[in-house]
Structure 1
Protein backbone atom coordinates (compact mmCIF):
# COMPACT_ATOMS: atom_id res chain seq x y z
CA UNK A 1 0.00 0.00 0.00
CA UNK A 2 1.40 3.33 -1.05
CA UNK A 3 0.55 6.36 1.10
CA UNK A 4 1.19 8.78 -1.73
CA UNK A 5 -2.13 7.69 -3.22
CA UNK A 6 -3.94 9.43 -0.35
CA UNK A 7 -2.71 12.91 -1.17
CA UNK A 8 -4.84 15.90 -1.96
CA UNK A 9 -4.66 15.22 -5.70
CA UNK A 10 -6.34 11.86 -5.37
CA UNK A 11 -8.91 12.62 -2.69
CA UNK A 12 -12.36 13.55 -3.77
CA UNK A 13 -13.75 16.19 -1.49
CA UNK A 14 -17.46 16.37 -1.16
CA UNK A 15 -19.21 19.34 0.30
CA UNK A 16 -22.72 18.84 1.51
CA UNK A 17 -24.19 22.29 1.30
CA UNK A 18 -27.84 23.04 1.49
CA UNK A 19 -28.79 26.45 0.25
CA UNK A 20 -31.58 27.96 2.29
CA UNK A 21 -34.91 28.29 0.61
CA UNK A 22 -36.53 31.66 0.14
CA UNK A 23 -39.09 30.87 2.83
CA UNK A 24 -36.36 30.21 5.40
CA UNK A 25 -34.55 33.42 4.49
CA UNK A 26 -37.74 35.44 4.95
CA UNK A 27 -38.35 33.82 8.33
CA UNK A 28 -35.11 35.25 9.74
CA UNK A 29 -35.92 38.52 11.41
CA UNK A 30 -33.54 41.39 11.13
CA UNK A 31 -32.59 43.01 14.41
CA UNK A 32 -33.16 46.76 14.37
CA UNK A 33 -30.07 48.94 14.71
CA UNK A 34 -31.23 50.52 17.96
CA UNK A 35 -31.55 47.09 19.62
CA UNK A 36 -27.95 46.22 18.75
CA UNK A 37 -26.65 49.19 20.71
CA UNK A 38 -25.83 48.57 24.31
CA UNK A 39 -25.47 51.75 26.32
CA UNK A 40 -22.41 50.63 28.27
CA UNK A 41 -20.58 48.74 25.54
CA UNK A 42 -18.21 51.60 24.82
CA UNK A 43 -17.38 51.86 28.53
CA UNK A 44 -16.71 48.12 28.74
CA UNK A 45 -14.36 48.34 25.79
CA UNK A 46 -12.55 51.33 27.32
CA UNK A 47 -12.07 49.53 30.64
CA UNK A 48 -10.72 46.46 28.84
CA UNK A 49 -8.25 48.62 26.93
CA UNK A 50 -6.64 50.09 30.05
CA UNK A 51 -3.03 48.91 30.20
CA UNK A 52 -1.53 48.86 33.67
CA UNK A 53 2.07 49.98 33.27
CA UNK A 54 2.58 52.26 36.26
CA UNK A 55 2.88 51.09 39.89
CA UNK A 56 1.02 54.15 41.18
CA UNK A 57 -1.88 53.46 38.82
CA UNK A 58 -1.92 49.79 39.81
CA UNK A 59 -2.03 50.69 43.53
CA UNK A 60 -4.85 53.18 42.91
CA UNK A 61 -6.89 50.59 40.97
CA UNK A 62 -6.42 48.01 43.72
CA UNK A 63 -7.53 50.52 46.35
CA UNK A 64 -10.60 51.71 44.43
CA UNK A 65 -11.97 48.34 43.28
CA UNK A 66 -12.83 46.14 46.27
CA UNK A 67 -11.95 42.45 46.32
CA UNK A 68 -15.35 41.49 47.71
CA UNK A 69 -18.77 42.95 47.24
CA UNK A 70 -19.23 45.71 49.84
CA UNK A 71 -23.02 45.57 49.68
CA UNK A 72 -23.58 42.11 51.17
CA UNK A 73 -24.95 42.65 54.68
CA UNK A 74 -26.83 40.90 57.45
CA UNK A 75 -29.24 43.21 59.26
CA UNK A 76 -29.52 42.05 62.85
CA UNK A 77 -31.70 43.14 65.72
CA UNK A 78 -30.92 41.85 69.21
CA UNK A 79 -28.76 39.11 67.74
CA UNK A 80 -31.48 37.89 65.37
CA UNK A 81 -30.89 38.16 61.63
CA UNK A 82 -33.80 40.07 60.16
CA UNK A 83 -32.73 40.51 56.56
CA UNK A 84 -29.81 39.22 54.53
CA UNK A 85 -28.87 41.46 51.63
CA UNK A 86 -27.19 39.35 48.95
CA UNK A 87 -24.12 40.57 47.08
CA UNK A 88 -25.42 42.82 44.36
CA UNK A 89 -22.17 43.22 42.44
CA UNK A 90 -23.13 40.56 39.89
CA UNK A 91 -25.98 42.84 38.83
CA UNK A 92 -23.46 45.56 37.96
CA UNK A 93 -23.08 45.57 34.17
CA UNK A 94 -19.37 46.44 34.47
CA UNK A 95 -18.55 43.84 37.12
CA UNK A 96 -16.55 41.48 34.89
CA UNK A 97 -14.52 44.28 33.33
CA UNK A 98 -13.71 45.86 36.70
CA UNK A 99 -12.62 42.53 38.17
CA UNK A 100 -10.42 41.89 35.12
CA UNK A 101 -8.87 45.36 35.50
CA UNK A 102 -8.19 44.73 39.20
CA UNK A 103 -6.66 41.35 38.34
CA UNK A 104 -4.38 42.96 35.73
CA UNK A 105 -3.27 45.54 38.29
CA UNK A 106 -2.55 42.85 40.91
CA UNK A 107 -0.61 40.76 38.39
CA UNK A 108 1.40 43.80 37.34
CA UNK A 109 2.33 44.60 40.94
CA UNK A 110 3.25 41.00 41.73
CA UNK A 111 4.98 39.96 38.51
CA UNK A 112 6.49 43.13 37.07
CA UNK A 113 7.19 45.13 40.21
CA UNK A 114 7.78 42.21 42.59
CA UNK A 115 5.68 43.83 45.33
CA UNK A 116 3.67 42.09 48.03
CA UNK A 117 -0.03 42.22 47.18
CA UNK A 118 -1.35 40.53 50.31
CA UNK A 119 -2.69 43.90 51.55
CA UNK A 120 -5.15 43.94 48.63
CA UNK A 121 -6.45 40.40 49.02
Structure 2
Protein backbone atom coordinates (compact mmCIF):
# COMPACT_ATOMS: atom_id res chain seq x y z
CA UNK A 1 0.00 0.00 0.00
CA UNK A 2 1.44 3.36 -0.96
CA UNK A 3 1.17 6.42 1.23
CA UNK A 4 -0.92 9.23 -0.13
CA UNK A 5 0.61 12.61 0.55
CA UNK A 6 -1.70 15.59 0.52
CA UNK A 7 -0.91 18.14 -2.13
CA UNK A 8 0.86 21.24 -0.82
CA UNK A 9 -1.59 23.90 0.20
CA UNK A 10 -1.28 27.65 0.24
CA UNK A 11 -2.15 29.46 3.48
CA UNK A 12 -5.74 29.92 2.26
CA UNK A 13 -6.22 26.18 1.75
CA UNK A 14 -5.90 26.33 -2.05
CA UNK A 15 -3.36 24.16 -3.90
CA UNK A 16 -0.03 25.91 -4.38
CA UNK A 17 0.14 26.19 -8.17
CA UNK A 18 3.52 27.90 -7.97
CA UNK A 19 5.16 25.02 -6.08
CA UNK A 20 7.17 23.78 -9.11
CA UNK A 21 8.55 27.28 -9.67
CA UNK A 22 9.28 27.68 -5.95
CA UNK A 23 11.21 24.40 -5.98
CA UNK A 24 13.12 25.44 -9.10
CA UNK A 25 14.23 28.70 -7.50
CA UNK A 26 15.03 27.08 -4.14
CA UNK A 27 17.04 24.27 -5.75
CA UNK A 28 18.95 26.53 -8.15
CA UNK A 29 22.66 26.14 -7.51
CA UNK A 30 24.93 29.07 -8.25
CA UNK A 31 28.10 27.84 -9.91
CA UNK A 32 29.32 30.92 -11.76
CA UNK A 33 30.38 34.35 -10.60
CA UNK A 34 28.72 35.84 -13.69
CA UNK A 35 25.36 34.33 -12.76
CA UNK A 36 25.81 35.48 -9.15
CA UNK A 37 26.56 39.05 -10.31
CA UNK A 38 23.55 39.00 -12.63
CA UNK A 39 21.22 37.88 -9.84
CA UNK A 40 22.57 40.59 -7.51
CA UNK A 41 22.07 43.26 -10.18
CA UNK A 42 18.57 42.16 -11.22
CA UNK A 43 17.01 41.44 -7.82
CA UNK A 44 16.66 44.62 -5.73
CA UNK A 45 18.06 44.60 -2.20
CA UNK A 46 14.83 45.98 -0.73
CA UNK A 47 11.16 45.89 -1.56
CA UNK A 48 10.32 48.89 -3.76
CA UNK A 49 8.14 51.34 -1.87
CA UNK A 50 4.52 51.92 -2.66
CA UNK A 51 3.76 55.19 -4.40
CA UNK A 52 1.12 57.26 -6.10
CA UNK A 53 1.72 58.09 -9.75
CA UNK A 54 -0.18 60.84 -11.53
CA UNK A 55 -0.59 60.23 -15.25
CA UNK A 56 -2.83 62.23 -17.57
CA UNK A 57 -4.51 63.91 -14.60
CA UNK A 58 -5.40 60.61 -12.90
CA UNK A 59 -3.69 59.28 -9.79
CA UNK A 60 -2.83 55.59 -9.65
CA UNK A 61 -1.81 53.87 -6.44
CA UNK A 62 0.95 51.30 -6.87
CA UNK A 63 1.29 49.00 -3.84
CA UNK A 64 4.65 47.78 -2.61
CA UNK A 65 5.79 45.37 -5.31
CA UNK A 66 6.86 42.65 -2.87
CA UNK A 67 3.19 42.29 -1.89
CA UNK A 68 2.30 41.53 -5.51
CA UNK A 69 5.03 38.93 -6.10
CA UNK A 70 4.06 35.50 -4.73
CA UNK A 71 7.67 34.33 -5.18
CA UNK A 72 9.22 37.28 -3.34
CA UNK A 73 10.71 35.22 -0.48
CA UNK A 74 12.28 32.69 -2.84
CA UNK A 75 13.82 35.40 -5.01
CA UNK A 76 15.24 37.24 -1.98
CA UNK A 77 16.79 33.99 -0.73
CA UNK A 78 18.27 33.39 -4.21
CA UNK A 79 19.86 36.85 -4.05
CA UNK A 80 21.25 36.06 -0.61
CA UNK A 81 22.74 32.81 -1.91
CA UNK A 82 24.33 34.74 -4.80
CA UNK A 83 25.84 37.24 -2.36
CA UNK A 84 27.11 34.38 -0.20
CA UNK A 85 28.66 32.70 -3.26
CA UNK A 86 30.47 35.88 -4.25
CA UNK A 87 31.73 36.42 -0.70
CA UNK A 88 32.62 32.87 0.33
CA UNK A 89 33.68 31.18 -2.91
CA UNK A 90 34.88 34.08 -5.08
CA UNK A 91 36.13 36.16 -2.13
CA UNK A 92 34.76 39.35 -3.72
CA UNK A 93 33.63 42.51 -1.98
CA UNK A 94 29.83 42.73 -2.33
CA UNK A 95 29.46 46.20 -0.79
CA UNK A 96 28.15 47.54 -4.12
CA UNK A 97 25.11 45.24 -3.85
CA UNK A 98 24.16 46.14 -0.28
CA UNK A 99 21.62 48.80 0.62
SS at match of 1:105: helix
1:68 offset after TM fit, Å? 1.5
Q: Which residue of 2 aligns with 1:106?
A: 83
1:42 matches 2:23: no
Which ranges of 4 or more aligned residues in structure 1 deviate by more than 4 Å? 82-86
SS at match of 2:20: helix
Larger Rg belongs to? 1
Superposition map of 1:29-68 within 5 A: 37-68=15-46
Q: Which residue of 2 aligns with 1:27?
A: none
Superposition map of 1:1-121 within 5 A: 37-73=15-51, 86-121=63-98
Runs of 5+ consecutive residues of structure 2 not aligned to the other structure: 1-5, 8-12
Q: Counterparts of 2:60 and 2:23 in 1: how far apart (Å)?
A: 37
Q: Counterparts of 2:37 and 2:77 in 1: how far apart (Å)?
A: 15
CA displacement, residues 9-64 of structure 1 (integer Å, 9 cap, x when unaligned)? xxxxxxxxxxxxxxxxxxxxxx89xx763221110000001001110010011111
RCO higher in structure (CA 8 A, sep ≥6): 2
TM-score, structure 1 normalization: 0.58
Runs of 5+ consecutive residues of structure 1 not aligned to the other structure: 1-30, 77-81
Q: Counterparts of 2:61 and 2:16 in 1: how far apart (Å)?
A: 32
Residue-pair matches, total:
84
